[in-house]
């Protein structure tokens, strides 16, 4: 059986922290995605989810230093869960998206991103 761990996100950048590693440039950023629906009373609701993205420059990821808060991005990658103990001793789980492709979307044209 083939296994699959793939994520596609399109959203707005919340924060960007550039970082460097062993001869590589990278970034940790947050990405907000919105889902719109109507509740049981018919009132419109917009639900925002925040995603932690980790991206290292590669053939498919370049120009991370140009990404700013508010930019629209298309990101593909895989999910990674990490367990850790907080300062209070409580075990927590952090969910990250390890990006293998990051594309800056210049406008709201949905055809702007190659799929």
Q: What is the DSSP letter of 66?
A: G
The mean pLDDT value of the chain amounts to 90
Q: What is the DSSP letter of 72?
A: E
pLDDT of 32: 97
For residues 86 and 81, which has the higher predicted lDDT (pLDDT)? 81
* Domains of the chain as residue ranges with CATH: 7-83+101-109 (2.40.50.140)
**Selection from 48, 47, 17, 45 nearest residue 32 by Cα:** 48
Quick one: what percent of the chain has pLDDT higher than 90? 77
Longest CA–CA separation in the chain, Å: 55
pLDDT category at 24 given cuts 50, 70, 90 is confident
Among 13-22, 59-68, 69-78, 103-112, name the one with the lowest average pLDDT: 103-112
């Amino acid at each position: 059986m083939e296994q699959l761990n793939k994520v596609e996100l399109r959203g707005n950048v919340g924060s960007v922290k550039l970082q460097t590693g062993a001869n590589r440039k990278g970034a940790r950023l947050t990405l907000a995605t919105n889902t719109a629906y109507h509740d049981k009373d018919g009132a419109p609701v917009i639900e925002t989810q925040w995603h932690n993205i980790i991206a290292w420059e590669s053939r498919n990821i370049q120009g991370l230093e140009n990404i700013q808060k508010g930019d629209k991005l298309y990101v593909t990658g895989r999910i990674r869960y990490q367990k850790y103990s907080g300062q209070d001793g409580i075990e927590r789980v952090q969910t990250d998206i390890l990006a293998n492709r990051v594309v800056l979307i210049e406008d709201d044209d949905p055809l702007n991103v190659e799929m």
